[in-house]
Structure 1
């Protein structure tokens, strides 16, 4: 194992064997100088205070503290990936009691305008395409990369339902997360028309909570996942709940039979643009005539999807390889092409921001448990950034989440 210790004012210890990109600081002086200029120009437009090494603080608002000038080296090499990698390396932080999501929300609200138009066009010429396509082999690898990290890791920040998707809260500020998660599941089961005796296919098991609640309604549940860790724990939780549901490792493209209802909660984001038509066609083929498809999906504006769909981001590199968030237009258009019409849509993006905030609070309070599971400081910083980055996306309106009811008419 090789260890790299950052200099300047950083203190993050980086295992270069585990985190080769984070340990290796790029050296492109001209590009770093351009990145510094863009950063300075962008932050002057924002309600944010900037603290650079050895300089007086400028601006007012949430504090962006640059701990090391290596931050600009990473931005200069690859803006989309370098910003997050620099946080992982401890080269910048939210300073003076500023909450990380508060700081990132300031940037997210004007994300499309921060980089000058000319440089955006130039950047598209050098953007790296999204790696790891979601064919059958790639999809299993991509899912394993994230969901097979450790069931115990996810338990450090999820509620007792082990639901890893947006909750649906009532108007109370004090409602427990687990209650809101169960409501979210009941809501999508209602949209899919799941009642006693219904044959139900769940695409993307998670850790079994939806299968449990569907089985408690008296439905016959067949749930599929590509994560062995999730399958094993879901089976255990279903058994402990005293209900029956079948859970198996299976690609959605390989499912056989017909179902009265199909449900899928935040799995479509892992399908990939190339496979969206096949995904909706498969759902339509597996539904009985008159059947209903309950879909929960993160969404983004269609113009932003078109702008970003072909470039590798920090999220792709470290969190969800091969993933792509669809737009509402994609869901409606692809669904219609497969014979599935959207009968209902319920948006609740603010609830996802609240869910993510609660997850991040639990995760940061569990740092000793996370360390005990074998995850190092770079991983903890990566996960904190991921949760705060995502929360900022929903708080700013850059991202949304919705539940859809799609019907097959014939």
Structure 2
């Protein structure tokens, strides 16, 4: 079978938040081609523009990586690394269509002896039981004999400049010990964080899916106690300040759980559990709490207002200081406020207006210039420009006796003008 050498040819399939940084890192050590079906995305990357903000223009332009949107260009590579998204459908069931589409593309392109590695988050068994047969179907090759499988779960955290792909520990697993050794050489050359060989591909798949499910459950607990403390007239942030002085307290924060991972991956684990005859009570309970947080926030804010009001929502992305709009739960707050008769404007300096319109039918304000007189200012995402607000910012945007709703605690410690009312979690 194929063994890694400095001349080994590697194709990274999918150039989003995960694939692009990985492809750029691998290209420093191996001949690499980055492939994406989105021709517009590839055209932007050719110009040195990464709309995700994960790879700087200078680093992108300096990379030796080839870029292509043509499937013929990835034919005959030695290793294929699949980094396409794994979303859920409208019923929160795992949607494997992007992965299966990638399998068809790779299957048609790969040669005898190829290794296909998946980084996409899936439940245990998908790589071997679903992807393997799909690759066989479109390649005419036999899995485990003519080509081999591997799994190395992605751990990209959008906007995180510390835990980058070239610094984190990479979990790896191969269909055979030789494939695992191959992945150790490839990923070991990329990251200073080292590699961890999992006991099997299924174990590696399981490890990934519980990482985000664990965070989801912990945040759900904090969100639930936030609801309790609101009834008691206590700020959860004040409680967390006190509790976090204990050495082993897990200092999670309340809020809207969106994004492509934490708000999605638990459903993959839940589906796997149900397929195997187990009802996952804690996992699904956590999902219900977190998915209901937008509605709860809208209800609490609306209760502070007298009748239909003009509301300005600050932030639409799923987290601070990134353009990532995937699975944003701020949208839930906006829709719930409108359902209660309020007029809502939305501003976000990081989000792409075209993407906001396409994904959520939201028209973003181009700037805050001239914005004034709102009945309520709702801080949904702690982007740095919002955190840096002054007292004058509030008095300009909000009418006297208007409400400042601080969902993320970004204005804690700030003296909000006395002419305004403050509500926070």
TM-score (norm 1): 0.35
Of structures 1 and 2, the larger Rg is shown by 2
* Larger RCO of the pair (alpha carbons < 8 Å, separation 6+): 1
Give the helix-richer structure, 1 or 2. Answer: 1
